[in-house]
Structure 1
Amino acid sequence: MHIEKSHQLRSPSKKNLFTVHYSLVNYESASDVLVEHASQNNSYGLSALAVHGLIESVWSKELNEKVNKIDMVVPDGQPVRWALNYFHKAKLSDRVYGPTLTLYVLKKASEQNLKVFLYGSKKSTLVKFEAFIRNNYPGVQICGIHADRFRDATEEEDLEDIQKINESGAHIVLVGRGCPRQERWVADHLGKVNAVMMAVGAAFDFHAGNVSQAPSWMQNLGLEWLYRLVKEPKRLWRRYLYTNSYFIYLFIKYSLKPLIIRTK
Structure 2
Amino acid sequence: MKDIQQITVGGLPIAVEDCDGAARTMLDFAIASRGREHRPLYVTSANGQVLSMCASNEEIRSLFLKADLIHADGTPLVKASRFLARQPLPERVATTDLVHNAARLAQQEGATFFFLGATQEGIERAAENMTRQYPKLRIAGYRNGYVKPEEEAEVIAEINAVKPDILWIGMGVPLEQRFVARNLDKLTGVGVIKTSGGLFDFLSGKNARAPQWMQDAGLEWAYRIYQEPGRLFWRYLTTNPHALWLLLTRTR
Contact kept? 2:77, 2:247, Cα under 8 Å = no
**Structure 1 counterpart of 2:135:** 138
SS at 2:167 equivalent: strand
Whole-Å separation in 2 of the counterparts to 1:159 and 1:86: 46
Q: Which segments of 5 or more consecutive residues in structure 1 lack a partner in the other structure?
A: 1-8, 259-264
**Structure 2 counterpart of 1:179:** 173
Aligned to 1:249, which of 227, 230, 245? 245
**Structure 1 counterpart of 2:89:** 92
Q: Is 1:198 equivalent to 2:190 in the alignment?
A: no
**Structure 2 counterpart of 1:213:** 209
Whole-Å separation in 1 of the counterparts to 2:207 and 2:250: 35
Cα distance, 1:92 vs structure 2: 2.6
Give CA deviations for 1:8-46 in whole Å, capped at 9, x if unaligned. x21311112233111111011111110011112460111
Give CA deviations for 1:64-87 in whole Å, capped at 9, x if unaligned. 111011111100000111122222
Whole-Å separation in 1 of the counterparts to 2:111 and 2:76: 33
Whole-Å separation in 1 of the counterparts to 2:41 and 2:213: 33
Cα distance, 1:253 vs structure 2: 4.0
Aligned to 2:162, which of 156, 164, 168? 168
Q: Is 1:71 equivalent to 2:68 in the alignment?
A: yes
Whole-Å separation in 2 of the counterparts to 1:169 and 1:252: 42
Cα distance, 1:249 vs structure 2: 2.4
**Structure 2 counterpart of 1:5:** none
Contact kept? 1:176, 1:202, Cα under 8 Å = yes
Cα distance, 1:202 vs structure 2: 2.5
Whole-Å separation in 2 of the counterparts to 1:75 and 1:252: 16
Cα distance, 1:216 vs structure 2: 0.3
Q: Which segments of 5 or more consecutive residues in structure 2 lack a partner in the other structure?
A: none
Whole-Å separation in 2 of the counterparts to 1:223 and 1:68: 27
Cα distance, 1:254 vs structure 2: 4.6
Identity, % of aligned positions: 26
Cα distance, 1:165 vs structure 2: 0.5
Q: Which has the larger radius of gyration?
A: 1
Give the partner amino acid of 1:176: G
Whole-Å separation in 2 of the counterparts to 1:23 and 1:32: 14
| TM-score (structure 2 length as normaliser) | 0.91
Whole-Å separation in 1 of the counterparts to 2:126 and 2:166: 15
Give the partner amino acid of 2:234: R
Whole-Å separation in 2 of the counterparts to 1:251 and 1:51: 9
**1:1-264 equivalent positions in 2, closer than 5 A:** 9-39=1-31, 40-41=33-34, 43-149=40-146, 153-154=148-149, 156-194=150-188, 195=190, 196-254=192-250
Give CA deviations for 1:130-154 in whole Å, capped at 9, x if unaligned. 11121122222211111121x6x42
SS at 2:121 equivalent: helix
Contact kept? 1:44, 1:190, Cα under 8 Å = no
Contact kept? 1:102, 1:200, Cα under 8 Å = no
| TM-score (structure 1 length as normaliser) | 0.87
SS at 1:103 equivalent: helix
Aligned positions, number: 245
Q: Tell me which moved more, 84-93 or 60-69.
A: 84-93
Contact kept? 2:114, 2:168, Cα under 8 Å = yes
